[in-house]
Amino acid sequence: MPRYSDELEAVVACEQALRRRIAERIAEESGALVHGDLSSGHLAAADAAIEVWRNEGEEMQDLAAFRPIGPLQELLAEHRAILERIDDMRDRRLS
């Protein structure tokens, strides 16, 4: 019998994995070697970068379309899209 899987749980797991990739990227860009566990400082830096990216105005992101973005910004944009998907899924469940 197939096991029930909740799409929201899968998307949240993806979001958490992407959060970790953002923390790893920040650690890498700061010159830190990451072997296994990330420090709480790297995770906090990822959370701060995610928050800034999420709260950034649409006009700032529109301006970014005219210049190349780096690997960290690509991860942050992907993370923002996943958060929007999670919000949409939760809204649909509440309606």
User: How many whole angstroms separate alpha carbon 25 and alpha carbon 42?
Assistant: 9
Residues whose CB is less than 8 angstroms from the CB of residue 66 and which lie 6 or more positions away in sequence, other chains included: none
The answer, as to whether pTM is greater than 0.85, is no
In tens digits, what is the pLDDT along the chain, a chain of 95 residues? 556 678 999 999 999 999 999 999 999 998 887 777 888 999 999 999 999 888 875 556 565 566 677 899 889 989 999 999 999 999 998 88
First-last CA distance in the chain:
30
Residues whose CB is less than 8 angstroms from the CB of residue 75 and which lie 6 or more positions away in sequence, other chains included: 18, 21, 22, 25
Q: What is the pLDDT of residue 66?
A: 62
